[in-house]
């Protein structure tokens, strides 16, 4: 079973349980048994020549009224991620996984792909886009707190700590926050035993949240906070350059000498004075060498 499927299923299970639905494991077995008992349906699901998205559409249409949306999400994720020949084997394994407490499903073997999939499942089930944006903003604020403290960053990245200690640290840092989805995501990430950088994982989760809102995050490195007007101008300029909507997140960075250094994914827009001075030095050096 892929780590992404483990994480996604656990994320769905968490949200389902939060909404008093405790039958996800049983329901995916019910779907699998129905597929197995129907020769035509079994042939469709098992046919590797049929696109997975076509299969998930069929499953959703057939079972929407008989099982929870949570079970459909998990079963369709199996179809999307796993080979059809492994379908029933994986369903039985997932039923067992989902029957246990969430805390038992994390720890030393949890890797970043499981954490990201967990977060994707939880965040994709947030119906209110304003709330989703707020969760993403809290994530950014929290990652900044961790990044600004090297000792904290190392501890939450697993240097000299065990899962229980990391979870306790996160719970203490987030004690004033009430959003249960945010709290469970950062707790789940902290419990992972195979991440190298907790801040990097939080950044990836923030990108997932932005993607679900059909926007991109622009990290703006500045020496001091921008005014509202400046933020509006920077947002418009970067959005035009990227060809898509962006949300700006400010990072106070003393290494930036004037101007703005913006990072959107793997793209860097460097409008800092330091960059312009470096460019000028480079041109002067080339001119001098040519003489």
Calculate the average pLDDT of the chain.
87
> What does the pLDDT average to over 204-211?
92
In the chain, % helix, strand, coil (3-state, to 5) comes to: 65, 10, 25
CA distance 47 to 85: 9
Q: Quote the tokens at residue 103.
A: 């805390």
Dump pLDDT digits (tens) for 40-77: 999 999 999 999 999 999 999 999 999 999 999 999 99
Q: What number of CA atoms fall less than 13 Å from residue 70's CA on the CB side?
A: 22
CB atoms closer than 10 angstroms to residue 84? 17
The rounded percent of the chain whose pLDDT value lies above 90 is 63
User: Could you give the CA distance from residue 96 to residue 90 in angstroms, rounded to a whole number?
Assistant: 10
Q: From CA 269, how far away is CA 229, in angstroms rounded?
A: 19
Higher pLDDT, residue 248 or 84:
84
Q: Convert the pLDDT of each residue in 118-134 to its tens digit.
A: 999 999 999 999 999 99
User: Taking 90 as the threshold, does the pLDDT of residue 172 lie above it?
Assistant: yes
Average pLDDT score over residue span 191-195: 82
**Lateral strand order in the sheet of 261-264:** 246-252, 216-222, 261-264, 267-270
DSSP-H helix ranges across 22-176: 24-37, 39-46, 52-63, 69-81, 87-99, 112-124, 129-147, 150-156, 163-173
| pLDDT over 90 (residue 221) | no
| pLDDT given for residue 287 in this prediction | 45
Q: What is the pTM of this model?
A: 0.83
∠ CA 140-142-145, rounded to 5°: 115
The pLDDT, as a whole number, for residue 108 is 55
pLDDT tens, 25-37?
A: 999 999 999 999 9
């Amino acid at each position: 079973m892929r780590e992404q499927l483990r994480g996604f299923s656990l994320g769905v299970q968490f949200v389902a349980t939060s909404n008093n639905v405790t039958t996800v494991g049983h329901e995916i077995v019910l779907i699998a048994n129905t597929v197995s008992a129907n020769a035509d349906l079994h042939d469709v699901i098992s046919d590797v020549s049929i696109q997975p998205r076509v299969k998930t559409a069929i499953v959703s249409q057939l079972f929407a009224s008989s099982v929870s949306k949570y079970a459909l999400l998990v079963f369709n994720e199996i179809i999307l991620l796993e080979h059809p020949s492994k379908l029933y084997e994986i369903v039985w394994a997932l039923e067992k996984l989902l029957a246990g407490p969430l805390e038992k499903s994390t720890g030393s073997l949890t890797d970043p792909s499981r954490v990201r999939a967990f977060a994707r499942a939880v965040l994709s089930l947030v119906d209110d886009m304003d709330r989703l944006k707020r969760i993403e903003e809290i994530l950014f604020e929290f990652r900044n707190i961790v990044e600004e403290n090297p000792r904290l960053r190392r501890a939450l990245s697993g240097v000299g700590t065990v899962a229980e200690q990391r979870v306790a640290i996160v719970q203490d840092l987030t004690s004033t926050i009430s959003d249960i989805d945010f709290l469970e995501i950062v707790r789940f990430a902290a419990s992972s035993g195979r991440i190298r950088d907790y801040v990097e994982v939080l950044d990836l989760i923030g990108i997932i949240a932005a993607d679900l809102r059909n926007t991109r995050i622009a990290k703006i490195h500045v020496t001091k906070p921008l005014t509202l007007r400046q933020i509006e101008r920077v947002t418009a300029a970067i959005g035009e350059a990227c060809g898509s909507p962006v949300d700006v997140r400010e990072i106070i960075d003393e290494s930036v000498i004037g101007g703005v250094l913006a990072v959107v994914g793997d793209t860097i827009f460097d409008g800092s004075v330091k960059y312009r001075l470096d460019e000028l030095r480079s041109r002067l050096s080339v001119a001098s060498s040519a003489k």
